[in-house]
Amino acid sequence: MAVACSERGHTFYSKGHNNLMTLPSLKKVALGLTFSALACNASAGPVPAQRAAELQQQPNIVIIFTDDMGWGDVGYHGFDDIKTPNIDKLAANGAHFPQAYVSESVCGPSRSGMLTGVYQQRMGIYGNSSENHIPHDQPLAMEIVKDQGYATAVIGKWHLGDPTGKPNERGADFFYGFLGGSHDYFRSQTVDTGKLLLAPIYRNDEVVPPIQEQNGYLTEMFTDEAVGFIERSVKKDKSFFLYLAHLAVHHPWQVPESYVERLKDLPVKEGIAGEERRHFAGMVLALDDSIGQVMDTLKEQGVYDNTLIVFMSDNGTPAGQGFAQPRRKKRNETTMSSPGPFNGFKGTNYEGGIRVPFAMQWPGVIPAGLKYEPMVSALDIVPTIASLFEGTNTGIFPFDGTNLLPYLLGEKPADAIPHETLYWRRNEEYAIRDGDWKLTFNRSHGPQTIRLFNMAKDPGEWDDLVSREPGKAQELKDKFDAWEAGLPVNRLSHRPTNRNFDYDKGHRVNVKEFNRNTP
């Protein structure tokens, strides 16, 4: 059974014990920072002196970024109609974050924010555009660690915009994958004919033979390349950074039948909904196998204990899913990916579009079984990595994310949290989460009004409080507009008609009047 014990407002889980464990502190280790940690498992104990010496070396870093994986698509969130044993182990052996957010609800902007630690809107990135541009004087994660002598690899999906440059131009020693936003899992071409799903697969700057000629499946091919990169790096005695950006579990819904066959006893609904969930679960299982192979390779190569592993999805569940019509789903109608108990989908700033699975493991440093409750962001990943090095170049924009390690290791005061406020803006949609309150507007996903929710009492966003809490709604609207007033205009699409461009001149959008005048 799992026994929970609390410290500093966080929850630790110790499997297989029937009594509460004490929380011995981990020995401080030097990595340019001083760390102390708390563990629930009595066997964790202090870190031996030789272990501390090992941890003074640069840790290897693996970021596994999945695609369109909903909050309800991992077992460790309590769902039994999906099988993710390796992802669950990763969460159990480190920390997981039930209130983890991405910086946007679609792929390209979310990746831009994660890989820089900066709100992508500061760079003029608001949507999925081939013209998105992360400036060269705003370093990506690969460029930051490359300056520290790391071997670096990008494997999988890029999708950062043509002006950003290709992976080998942005800090990757090795690249294997495709440049766009989606792809067929079984087929590719060797020339770019404009067919997105059949775009060439690259090894660095060279196009590889078509997937179908290799009898390949894209998830497995990315896994093989990740394993090979780890093995080569260890052989060269190099600290390594791997950004494994899987396309899974993004559409198209393709998976070898062998994975689905392994799930024949999966408890799913009757009928087409259940069969569609089982098929999707096969795609997830292939992804989970991949993560298991990466973990096994780290162990086989003797570097598992000195590797920081981050697992996260780029956004939440897509509304468009399934083989049977209607494919565009509504709340509680999903048949493949699931937002769990939350409202909304990919492309919205409701929780289903922006709250995602997130886990982080670093054996001997991050306490195993830590369920960290306060809200965190994908923007925190790069600042956490950069904190390991002195004098990191953060670029023209300072980090909007926060180094999570002091929070996870108990070095912050009990009431300290990484973020009091988070912001979102894409096209007409926007949101602000401020403490337990969330204000959001989702024009294309209705209703056409500004809405207010109390996330502590109503994380499912059922009860709109905007008319009962007008003062709080106006406070959050003003705070959002003040933040947005400092952002550049979106050059790549029509300016949002609901942006308060004159906030800094004293203009205020009255929430009550806006909603009253909305049809």
Cis peptide before 413 (omega within 30 of 0): no
Are 217 and 256 contacting, i.e. CB atoms less than 8 angstroms apart? yes
53: Cβ contacts below 8 Å, ≥ 6 apart: none
CA distance linking residue 498 with residue 468, whole number of Å: 23
Q: What is the pLDDT of residue 492?
A: 84
Q: What is the pLDDT of residue 57?
A: 66
Are 358 and 317 contacting, i.e. CB atoms less than 8 angstroms apart? no
CA distance linking residue 147 with residue 143, whole number of Å: 6
Q: What is the dihedral of CA 82, 108, 349, 454, to 10 degrees?
A: 80
Q: What is the pLDDT of residue 339?
A: 98
**DSSP for 101-142?**
E-S-SSHHHHHHHHHHTS-GGGGT--S--TT----TTS--HH
Q: Does the reported pTM lie above 0.85?
A: yes
Active site residue 445: no
Q: Which residue has the tokens 């499997």?
A: 15
Backbone angles phi, psi at 185, to 5 degrees: -85, -20
Q: What is the pLDDT of residue 115?
A: 98
Q: What is the pLDDT of residue 390?
A: 82
Q: What is the pLDDT of residue 251?
A: 97
Cis peptide before 249 (omega within 30 of 0): yes
Nearest to 189 by CA among 208, 162, 167: 208
Digit-by-digit pLDDT tens for the chain (519 residues) are: 333 333 333 443 333 322 222 222 322 333 333 333 333 332 333 333 343 344 446 899 999 999 999 999 999 999 999 999 999 999 999 999 999 999 999 999 999 999 999 999 999 999 999 999 999 999 999 999 999 999 999 999 999 999 999 999 999 999 999 999 999 999 999 999 999 999 999 999 999 999 999 999 999 999 999 999 999 999 999 999 999 999 999 999 999 999 999 999 999 999 999 999 999 999 999 999 999 999 999 999 999 999 999 999 999 999 999 999 999 999 999 999 999 999 999 999 999 999 999 999 999 999 999 999 999 999 999 999 999 998 777 799 999 999 999 999 999 998 999 999 999 999 999 999 999 999 999 988 879 999 999 999 999 999 999 999 999 999 999 999 999 999 998 888 777 889 999 999 999 999 999 999 987
Please give the radius of gyration of the chain, using alpha carbons only, rounded to the nearest integer.
22
Q: How many helices (H) and strands (E) does the chain have?
A: 12, 20
Q: Please count the other Cβ atoms lying within 10 Å of the Cβ belonging to residue 81.
A: 18
What are 288-292's contacts with CB under 8 Å, separation 24+? 288/83, 288/84, 288/85, 288/86, 288/87, 289/86, 289/223, 289/259, 290/219, 290/220, 290/222, 290/223, 290/226, 290/244, 290/246, 290/248, 291/64, 291/86, 291/87, 291/90, 292/85, 292/86
CA distance linking residue 445 with residue 458, whole number of Å: 19
- Single out the catalytic residue among 10, 96, 133, 159: 159
447: Cβ contacts below 8 Å, ≥ 6 apart: none
- Single out the catalytic residue among 10, 107, 183, 279: 107
DSSP 355: B
Are 423 and 480 contacting, i.e. CB atoms less than 8 angstroms apart? yes
CA distance linking residue 425 with residue 458, whole number of Å: 22
Q: What is the pLDDT of residue 393?
A: 72
Active site residue 5: no
CA distance linking residue 298 with residue 300, whole number of Å: 6
